[in-house]
Structure 1
Amino acid sequence: MATIPDSSENTFVGHLLELRRRVLYAVLAIFIGFLISYPFAQQIYTILAQPLTRLLPAGSHLIYTSLPEVFLTYVQLSLISGFVLALPVVLYQFWAFVAPGLYVHERRLFFPLIFVSLALFIVGVLFAYFVVFPNAFRFFLSFSGTDITAMPKVDNYLSLIVKFSLAFGLAFQIPVLIVVLVRVGILQIDTLRRGRRYAFLICAVAAAILSPPDVMSMVLLLIPMYLLFEIGLFFAARVAPRPWAEEGNAAGVDSAQETDTAAAMDAAEASFHRDEQRPSDREP
């Protein structure tokens, strides 16, 4: 039975201990953010509910149907808010764990992408809050009438707005995803340029799945998603490795290896001929 060398085992255990330490720091930061956010949970919920409450008909308001519903909603909202407050610490702990295993050029690419990804996520959430939600809620509330009154539940509304905010934030990660996939060689720039129609189709399907179930919200997500695809394509073309440089380096390495191999074969052949021409020690 094969055994793991002591050095490998110590390295593996060291990585696990380092990972545990980084995770503990991140969890502690989130817990502190939770403690800071909970006293302001009601004010935070009021801000999140404004896209809906300003459109509700007269006499309509948010309701709750079970006694602990509001309390549990505030706890969930405080956890989310605490995570947002602790996000710089969480990202730093992630970077501190990953960075030692990266090359210098990988660090130069990866480190800015963290902040670009965070900025795009925030832009996506703000876009959903200020643009998509008011139009979507206006569409949903248009079905209210004299015999039908809209009274959304507190927990249902929080679940809805968190889910779609997360969906829009992730959708705005398209440029980062394209840059990374092109950089590591999974996708090619020419392939992406030729496949623009398929990219538009994929964006349309994703918009239909991620957005609220109305045409306006789908269009409001489809347009920025495709624009983000073009932005990602633009920047990926500038960070992608140059094919001619890589081919030149590969050709140089191959030619050098072939030269060394040929020289070694010539030396071996010359040595063989010398041995043939040398008189045998066994002759009388």
Structure 2
Amino acid sequence: MLPTDTQTSEHDYTPYLDEIPDEVEMSIFDHLEELRMRIFYALIAVLVGVIGCFIFVRPLVQILEMPAQGVKFLQLAPGEFFFVSLKVAGYSGIVVASPFILYQVIQFVLPGLTRRERGLLGPVVLGSSILFFAGLVFAYVALIPAALKFFISYGADLVEQSWSIDKYFEFVLLLLFSTGLAFQIPVIQLILGYLNIVSSAKMLSGWRYVILAGVILGAVLTPSTDPLTQSLLAGAVLGLYFGGIGMVKLTGH
């Protein structure tokens, strides 16, 4: 029995997707040298980003102080605001340099990827970037104001709201970046589904454990102990997880 056109097409197409285009043999020392070069370029980009953000750190500090309206910030130790400025510039510089860092990572791993894996690379990088910045916005717009409102209102008739500038920014920056990382859940799900490691049905079958893990994750990632902030983050994590299941299902896995 002769194979049909469909069978021939599928037979020819599958090996094509599993090929590594322009494959070049490299020794372990060549790989290490390229890795060293990529890390060096990424560190230079971070350094430039940090220096640039430090130049404009005062507007950044003012933006991050906005959710705490009506609160007086105090410098409780010599140089505290200077070190806060360095911390804000450091975090901001990493965010600014992140596209270039991603580019270096892609350039390092790209030669070893098959055509199938390369097709996944673009959507993963784009989706991860969008979700990370969406997490930052969600934390700034929803989580931080909710947490600060709770702390300001609790005992407002007994204590005056005067906060350490260092402790405030430690709280804000940690909440921003932990939320941005938590928003990567759908990307991880898509990778696991695409690689046939975990199917959408398997992800959905463990929904009870996911809800428990979401509540625990919300408690661990939020630097505050108020239930409102933890509930908001846990709800966002669960929404992202079940949304990720839907996207994995749409891809046919």
TM bin, normalised by shorter chain, reads: 0.7 to 0.9
Residue 206 of structure 1 corresponds to 217
Q: Does 1:24 find its partner at 2:40?
A: yes
Residue 181 of structure 1 corresponds to 192
Amino acid in the other structure paired with 2:33: L
Residue 78 of structure 2 corresponds to 67
Amino acid in the other structure paired with 1:165: L
Residue 230 of structure 1 corresponds to 242
Q: How far apart in 1 are the matches of 2:124 and 2:215?
A: 26
Match of 1:78 among 89, 95, 106: 89
Q: How far apart in 1 are the matches of 2:97 and 2:126?
A: 14
Match of 1:218 among 204, 210, 230: 230
Match of 1:152 among 139, 153, 163: 163
Aligned ranges 1:1-284 → 2 under 5 Å: 11-52=27-68, 54-56=69-71, 61-145=72-156, 147-211=158-222, 212-239=224-251
Q: How far apart in 2 are the matches of 1:147 and 1:213?
A: 20
Work out whether residues 136 and 214 of structure 1, in 8 Å CA contact, stay in contact via their aligned partners in 2. Answer: yes
SS at match of 1:36: helix
SS at match of 1:62: strand
Report the alpha carbon displacement of residue 147 of structure 1 after superposing the two structures with TM: 4.5
Work out whether residues 55 and 138 of structure 1, in 8 Å CA contact, stay in contact via their aligned partners in 2. Answer: no
Cα-to-partner distance string for 1:153-198 (whole Å, 9 max, x where unaligned):
1111111111111111111111111111222333222222222222
Identity of aligned residues (%): 30
Any gaps of 5 or more consecutive residues in structure 1?
1-8, 242-284
Residue 5 of structure 2 corresponds to none
SS at match of 2:148: helix
Q: How far apart in 2 are the matches of 1:186 and 1:131?
A: 34
SS at match of 1:67: coil
Alignment length (residue pairs):
228
Amino acid in the other structure paired with 1:68: G
Cα distance change on mapping 1:10 and 1:119 into 2, 3 Å: closer
Q: How far apart in 2 are the matches of 1:143 and 1:237?
A: 44
Cα-to-partner distance string for 1:59-83 (whole Å, 9 max, x where unaligned):
xx11111111111111121122111
Report the alpha carbon displacement of residue 86 of structure 1 after superposing the two structures with TM: 1.2
Amino acid in the other structure paired with 2:29: V
Amino acid in the other structure paired with 1:76: K
Root-mean-square deviation over aligned CA pairs: 1.8
Residue 260 of structure 1 corresponds to none
SS at match of 1:32: helix
Report the alpha carbon displacement of residue 38 of structure 1 after superposing the two structures with TM: 1.1
Work out whether residues 65 and 153 of structure 1, in 8 Å CA contact, stay in contact via their aligned partners in 2. Answer: yes
Cα distance change on mapping 1:146 and 1:195 into 2, 3 Å: closer
